[in-house]
Amino acid sequence: RKEVEQDPGPFNVPEGATVAFNCTYSNSASQSFFWYRQDCRKEPKLLMSVYSSGNEDGRFTAQLNRASQYISLLIRDSKLSDSATYLCVANVFGNEKLTFGTGTRLTIIP
Amino acid sequence: SQTIHQWPATLVQPVGSPLSLECTVEGTSNPNLYWYRQAAGRGLQLLFYSVGIGQISSEVPQNLSASRPQDRQFILSSKKLLLSDSGFYLCAWSLTGTGYSYEQYFGPGTRLTVT
């Protein structure tokens, strides 16, 4: 079983819709979590950090459920520019290494 | 503010040739440094990381090596490239001593094609 699992998609969503991804992690010692976005043939860029139950930044909301060991990312009022691959990442406290999921591909359709 | 540089942006090399990719970070001291590889359509694979000058941890056995000759410089090398070394090579940095999280910030990457 992978340490961080994501549905690879693709998710094809009409512009303006709300879309949600889930990500599960297997290491219960994981303390902090991140969502990165990666555009085609570009480097991953940090989108959000999640340390407690959740985090909100504009149209983006991340939620953490420690009991069930999953993190979700919600995108409201989706824009064409949201088309990308979204990487879920977990980190164990004090560990310099991050554990990346393989990503969920999102395409926003006009 | 911190910036991370990688070069070259693209590289085409024949099988058996040597490789040297360089990464430098500006605007921070004593960062953790990382080398990843991403094969086409695949996830990120951690190759090496370093928590200080001369300190290198290798994650996967392969024909690659890494060095950190200066605090903010990280070099990825190979003596003889294989076809399987093709991929997107990403350097990343993170702060140290945060005691809580290690958010990583990536450079623009080097796209390597071994022919």
Task: Chain B: give the shortest CA distance to residue A100, in Å.
Answer: 7
**Nearest chain A alpha carbon to B41:** A102
The pair of structure tokens assigned to A87 is 């990487």
What's the pLDDT band for B41 if we cut at 50, 70, 90? confident
Strand partners, B26: B3
CA neighbor of A89 nearest in space, from A41, A54, A53, A37: A37
Task: Chain B: give the shortest CA distance to residue A46, in Å.
Answer: 7
What's the pLDDT band for B12 if we cut at 50, 70, 90? very high
Higher pLDDT: B25 or A54? It is B25
Residue ranges of chain A with pLDDT lower than 50?
A: none
Touching check for A46 and chain B: CB below 8 Å?
yes
Q: Is the dihedral of CA A83, A84, A90, A96 positive or negative?
A: negative
What's the pLDDT band for B69 if we cut at 50, 70, 90? very high
Looking at residue A93, its pLDDT comes to: 78
For residues B53 and B71, the answer to whether their CB atoms sit within 8 Å is yes
CA–CA separation, A68 vs A50, rounded Å? 15
Examine the pLDDT at B2 and tell me if it is beyond 70.
yes
Q: Output the CA torsion B13→A102→B107→B26 (10° steps).
A: -140
* Contact criterion met (CB < 8 Å) for A95 and B102: yes
CA–CA separation, A77 vs A79, rounded Å? 7
Task: Chain B: give the shortest CA distance to residue A91, in Å.
Answer: 7
For residues A46 and A8, the answer to whether their CB atoms sit within 8 Å is no
Q: Residue A45: how many CB atoms within 10 A of its CB?
A: 13
Looking at residue B62, its pLDDT comes to: 79
| Chain B residues touching residue A49 (CB < 8 angstroms) | 101, 103
| Chain A residues touching residue B49 (CB < 8 angstroms) | 96-97
Looking at residue B77, its pLDDT comes to: 96
Q: Is the dihedral of CA A16, A90, A38, B5 positive or negative?
A: positive
With a pLDDT cut of 90, the percent of chain A lying above it is 83
